[in-house]
Amino acid sequence: MPEAELSPALTRAASLIRSIPDYPEPGIVFRDITPLLADAEALKATTEAILEPFAGQFDVVAGIEARGFILAGAAAIAAGVGLIPIRKAGKLPRPAASVDYALEYGTATIEMHDDLPAGSRVLLIDDVLATGGTLAAGRQLVEELGSHVIGISVLFEIDGLGGRDLIGDLHTVFHAE
């Protein structure tokens, strides 16, 4: 969302996101959303902004570990729908599907249970879009298990890392360089 269009609550929320250089590895700038999460008004405003373009179009929210869980949980409650967690490898007692993917600084695997009824309409939520590997893997998991991703929404997008090229159309609340 362009800065000119941000409500006062979203402007405040954006100001609460900290940039931490060289974490978790040299050259990576980590975006710390902990202060935003601790501010009720900022969390409410960002949750509403994450959901707004998709109102009434989905049956369930899927959130990607770890910070995506927090945002997806808030979004699921606000929308009155359930939450499906997409977890890192080895965290689920009975994964139904898994996908390996590339990160900015390595590789990882995510897993998901097959608890969704076939054909469920899913809103996929994560905190950040960087290179797009995690969100692409999350979409692949949902679709492999017979559901349909109706949209992808992220708190912020880091411009210039190619994530949008990989993911395609998605909703972003904030942009970062």
Average pLDDT of the residues in 105-131: 92
Beta bridge partners of 176: 158
Question: Tens of pLDDT along 15-40?
Answer: 999 999 999 889 888 899 999 999 99
Q: Would you say residue 70 has pLDDT above 60?
A: yes
Spatial distance between the Cα atoms of 91 and 76, rounded to a whole number of angstroms: 21
In the residue annotation, 67 being an active-site residue is answered as yes
Question: Which of 104, 121, 144, 164 is an active site residue?
Answer: 104
Average pLDDT of the residues in 100-127: 90
Q: Where are the domains of the chain?
A: 52-176
Q: Identify the pLDDT of residue 4.
A: 52
Beta bridge partners of 111: 87, 98
- Mapping DSSP to helix (H, G, I), strand (E, B) and coil, where does residue 172 land? strand
Neighbours of 78 (CB within 10 A): 14
* CATH class of the 52-176 domain in this structure: alpha beta
Question: Which of 31, 65, 67, 87 is an active site residue?
Answer: 67
Question: Tens of pLDDT along 119-165?
Answer: 999 999 999 998 899 999 999 999 999 999 999 999 999 988 889 99
In the residue annotation, 65 being an active-site residue is answered as no
Average pLDDT, the chain: 92
